[in-house]
Amino acid sequence: MSLAAAATRCVPGAPRMPLLVLTVVLLSARPAHAGDILSLIPSNCTHNTTDVGEAYFCSCLEESGVTFESSVTDQVLRSRTALVHAYNCTMYYTTFMRLEAKFPLYYSYPYRAVGAFFQGTVFLVGFLGNLLVVVVVRRSRAMHTPTNCYLVSLAVADITVLIAAVPNEVFMYFLVAQAWIWGNAGCAILIFLQNMGINASALSVTAFTVERFIAICLPLKARTICTVSRAKRIILAVWVFAFLYCIPWMFLTKVSPVRYIGVSDVQQCTFKLSRQAYLGYFFADIVLFYVVPLLISSVLYTMIAVVVIKMLLTVVSLFALLWLPYRSYLVYNSFAQTDEDKYMDLWFLMFAKTCVYINRYGDGARVVR
């Protein structure tokens, strides 16, 4: 017998209420800490409660001067938050968690308002922004570049995740215990779309990073490797892999009833297997679509940064050196008082102008490359 069940039978002069009636009354209680509940009950009374039985527990309370009616009801069980926390705290498993049902989760009005506003705004801005990317690139042939192809793939993946996750998340703020109302098919499809969109997004970012690395660090090979047709084939492979990889989610989800105190059984979208059973699949997700893309992107962008820094240093150094003779020539002659003082060596002037022309040629070559 649990401590809570024994406590319901310790009310002096009161009928033996079922635990359901007792706990429903507590829903109007004030917030407090779960420790308040046990603080008024002597520790010796809770020791091995499930073994010693109801008689020992009730007599122990009476001998300690703690009555369920006065102390527990008036001082402790006025706290709904404390009791809810106690039910969800594993350290009190032998006392309050030995119940088949639990209290339903009710989101507060401020929580609902803030969550609905911010997540709704993110959904609208994200959906319209990503849709605009797809439309602009689709309609303008000048935008059909390998980089933009990957950006379109990323935009489609983001739209998929937003549609599959955000509206349902916001809607569930206003349902009791996050009730699921879309049925078994909706559970399977939405979970599948969320995972496929997330995985396709990670792979699209990785493919985009590789393309940028080739274009910047291997410019001579980029003309043959980084083409629109090749980018489209890579994107197709990304989505096919993400689709096939996420198919098991269609068969790992289910809608099952969850028992709550004070309300009817609530349907929730859950997993068919235990948490330990799908840990392998879960960690494979993390490795394939988070750790590996993160490592690849970090390494490639570091190499890109090194190349870009070298390129910038080269450009700045050449600019300084090639313009120095001509600028020095102009500065020197600007301070000359007479024509005889001016430096008019024709060979030096030809050399200075040649350096300027070389710098112009280098700028044009970099643009073409």
Q: Dump pLDDT digits (tens) for 246-269.
A: 999 888 888 888 776 666 777 888
Question: What is the percentage of the chain residues whose pLDDT exceeds 70?
Answer: 64
Half-sphere exposure of 101 (CA within 13 A, CB side): 18
> In sequence order, which residues have a C-beta less than 8 Å from that of residue 144 and are 6 or more positions away?
137, 228
**Domain range list for the chain:** 3-92, 109-272, 309-368
Indicate the DSSP class of residue 65: T
Least reliable range by pLDDT among 127-141, 176-190, 331-345: 331-345
Protein fold of 109-272: Rhopdopsin 7-helix transmembrane proteins (1.20.1070)
Q: What is the structure's pLDDT at 179?
A: 77
Q: Are 159 and 200 in contact (CB under 8 A)?
A: no
Q: How far is 86 from 271, CA to CA, in rounded Å?
A: 26
pLDDT (mean) for 171-182: 77
What is the number of residues in the chain?
A: 369
Q: How far is 41 from 275, CA to CA, in rounded Å?
A: 35
Mean pLDDT of the chain: 74
Q: Which pLDDT band, with edges at 50, 70 and 90, does 103 fall under?
A: low
Q: Which pLDDT band, with edges at 50, 70 and 90, does 328 fall under?
A: confident
Q: What is the structure's pLDDT at 213?
A: 94
Token pair recorded at residue 35: 């420790």
300 vs 57: which has the higher pLDDT: 300
Question: What is the percentage of the chain residues whose pLDDT exceeds 90?
Answer: 32
Question: What DSSP string describes 222-278?
Answer: HHHHS-HHHHHHHHHHHHHHHHHHHGGGGTSEEEEEE-BTTS--EEEEEESS-TTTT
pLDDT (mean) for 271-291: 86
Q: How far is 130 from 159, CA to CA, in rounded Å?
A: 7
Indicate the DSSP class of residue 174: T
| Coil, helix or strand at residue 319 | helix
Question: What DSSP string describes 86-130?
Answer: HHT-GGGTTTTS--S-BPPP---HHHHHHHHHHHHHHHHHHHHHH
Q: Which pLDDT band, with edges at 50, 70 and 90, does 242 fall under?
A: very high
Q: Are 76 and 82 in contact (CB under 8 A)?
A: yes
pLDDT (mean) for 13-33: 37
Q: Which pLDDT band, with edges at 50, 70 and 90, does 105 fall under?
A: low
Q: Which pLDDT band, with edges at 50, 70 and 90, does 161 fall under?
A: very high
Phi-psi group of 38: left, alpha or beta (phi > 0 → left; psi -120 to 50 → alpha; rest → beta): alpha
Q: What is the structure's pLDDT at 223?
A: 87
Q: What is the structure's pLDDT at 322?
A: 86
CA angle 100, 101, 105 (to 5 degrees): 150
Query: Integer distance in angstroms from the first to the last C-alpha of the chain?
Result: 80
Q: What is the structure's pLDDT at 302?
A: 94
pLDDT (mean) for 112-120: 89
Burial 76-102 (b: 16+ CB within 10 A, else e): bbbbbbbbbbbbeeeebeebbbbbebb
153 vs 43: which has the higher pLDDT: 153
| Coil, helix or strand at residue 15 | coil
pLDDT (mean) for 145-149: 92
Q: What is the structure's pLDDT at 334?
A: 80
Question: What DSSP string describes 19-40?
Answer: HHHHHHHGGGPPP--HHHHHHT
Q: What is the structure's pLDDT at 7?
A: 44
